[in-house]
């Protein structure tokens, strides 16, 4: 099983995620056993696992080499943030909050803002280097619902809550400090990231209902196409032509995270007027999660074969 998972780009994440999604779709209460079982095998443990991996991966960031991480992943993520704000504001200005072709501003912004950090980690582990894996914590900042909520709020001129962003930064900073103060601790913690990857995949899958996702139909497919067309080309061009890198980071951040499915519900709790829109947006985003989780690894495999980028052993 492990050998099979390693043959697939991002397989350590994707296989557990898809199996978990099947359980959530057809046996949603199977792991709802209060206590340890529920914490490990349902979405209740997602924040803990993401936070733990943010900490563990950050211990590998050498302050002496942090400029490399910031120059590559840092600037790539800044470009993505810029694109998300620009496209989010333009979408609302032109189409309003109700959107166009059945795609609301909420669904559109949530999708283009999303990054699946676990897939990034899996692809970085397969095709990247130590610094690429260490940058997982940075992708974690954009993974949490706080980022799309921030973009959505600014795009429609609403109040901003910075608490979720700060919450992600704390384990990252602590990881960097501990890893640099004691290199032995860094060597001890870093390998655990790979071990936790299947658990993170399972946790994300536990929030995906495949049947509900498929109900989104054409709108879910369209918003996925927009996600790729608007975000991928400029970032890929920047990484390949400006940074002169292999392009794997762009593929790694080009997938919609399972956590993003929760964004419409979170916003609906504070804005009751978008209740119906939130339900539709959730289905569209869920389909985007399923599609990008399958498409991105396939595209990565085709690209790495064409460019003869060898998989790490």
Tell me: the pLDDT tens digits for 296-311? 999 999 999 998 888 8
User: Using 50, 70 and 90 to split pLDDT, how confident is the model at 234?
Assistant: very high
Tell me which of 12 and 127 has the higher pLDDT: 127
Q: Is the pLDDT of residue 83 over 80?
A: yes
**Tell me, what's the pLDDT at 165?**
66
Q: Is the pLDDT of residue 161 over 70?
A: no
**Tell me, what's the pLDDT at 243?**
93
Tell me which of 34 and 159 has the higher pLDDT: 34
Where b means 16+ CB within 10 Å and e means fewer, 76-86 reads: bbebbbebbbe
**Tell me, what's the pLDDT at 47?**
78
Give the global pTM: 0.74
Tell me which of 194 and 113 has the higher pLDDT: 113
**Tell me, what's the pLDDT at 73?**
86
Q: Average pLDDT over the chain, rounded to whole?
A: 84
Q: In percent, how much of the chain has pLDDT > 90?
A: 33
**Tell me, what's the pLDDT at 95?**
93
**Tell me, what's the pLDDT at 14?**
75
User: Using 50, 70 and 90 to split pLDDT, how confident is the model at 158?
Assistant: low
Q: Which two tokens stand for residue 94?
A: 């032109």
Tell me which of 229 and 143 has the higher pLDDT: 229
E strand or H helix at 85:
helix 75-95
pLDDT digits (tens, 9 = 90+) for 11-61: 777 788 889 989 998 998 999 899 999 988 988 887 788 788 878 878 877
Q: Of 104, 20, 52, 130, nearest to 273 (Cα)? A: 104
pLDDT digits (tens, 9 = 90+) for 87-111: 999 999 999 988 899 899 999 999 9
Asked if 123 and 301 touch (Cβ cutoff 8 Å), the reply is: no
For residue 95, CA distances in Å to 5, 21, 87, 91 come to 42, 33, 12, 6
For residue 14, CA distances in Å to 42, 116, 118, 194 come to 16, 11, 9, 13
Q: Is the pLDDT of residue 229 over 90?
A: yes
Q: Count CB atoms within 10 A of the CB of residue 187.
A: 12
**Tell me, what's the pLDDT at 126?**
86
Task: State how far the Cα of 26 lies from the Cα of 23, in Å rounded to an integer.
Answer: 5
Domains and CATH numbers, the chain: 2-306 (1.20.1530.20)
For residues 214-224, average pLDDT:
88
The phi and psi torsions of 145 (rounded to 5 degrees) equal -55, -20
pLDDT digits (tens, 9 = 90+) for 242-277: 999 989 999 999 999 877 877 887 777 667 677 778
């Amino acid at each position: 099983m492990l050998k099979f998972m390693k043959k697939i780009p991002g397989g350590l994440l994707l296989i557990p995620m898809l199996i978990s999604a099947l359980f959530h779709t057809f046996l949603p209460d199977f792991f709802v056993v209060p206590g340890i079982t529920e914490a490990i095998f349902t979405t209740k443990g997602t924040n803990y696992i993401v936070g733990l991996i943010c900490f563990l991966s950050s211990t590998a960031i050498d302050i002496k080499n942090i400029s490399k991480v910031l120059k590559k992943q840092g600037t790539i993520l800044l470009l993505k943030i810029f694109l998300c704000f620009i496209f989010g504001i333009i979408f609302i200005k032109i189409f309003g909050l109700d959107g166009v072709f059945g795609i609301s501003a909420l669904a559109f912004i949530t999708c283009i803002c999303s990054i699946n950090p676990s897939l990034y980690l899996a692809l970085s582990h397969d095709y990247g280097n130590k610094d690429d894996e260490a940058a997982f914590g940075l992708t974690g900042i954009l993974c949490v619902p706080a980022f799309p909520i921030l973009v959505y709020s600014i795009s429609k001129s609403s109040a901003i809550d910075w608490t979720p962003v700060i919450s992600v930064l704390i384990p990252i900073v602590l990881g960097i400090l501990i890893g640099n103060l004691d290199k032995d601790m860094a060597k001890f913690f870093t390998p655990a990231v790979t071990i936790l990857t299947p658990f993170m995949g399972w946790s994300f899958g536990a929030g995906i209902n495949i049947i509900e996702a498929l109900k989104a139909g054409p709108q879910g497919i369209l918003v996925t196409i927009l996600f790729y067309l608007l975000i991928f080309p400029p970032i890929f061009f920047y990484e390949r032509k400006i940074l002169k890198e292999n392009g794997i980071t762009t593929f790694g951040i080009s997938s919609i995270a399972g956590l993003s499915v929760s964004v419409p519900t979170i916003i609906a709790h504070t804005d009751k007027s978008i209740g119906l829109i939130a339900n539709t947006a959730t289905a569209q985003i869920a389909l985007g999660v399923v599609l990008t989780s399958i498409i991105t690894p396939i595209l990565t495999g085709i690209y790495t074969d064409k460019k003869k980028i060898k998989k790490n052993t």
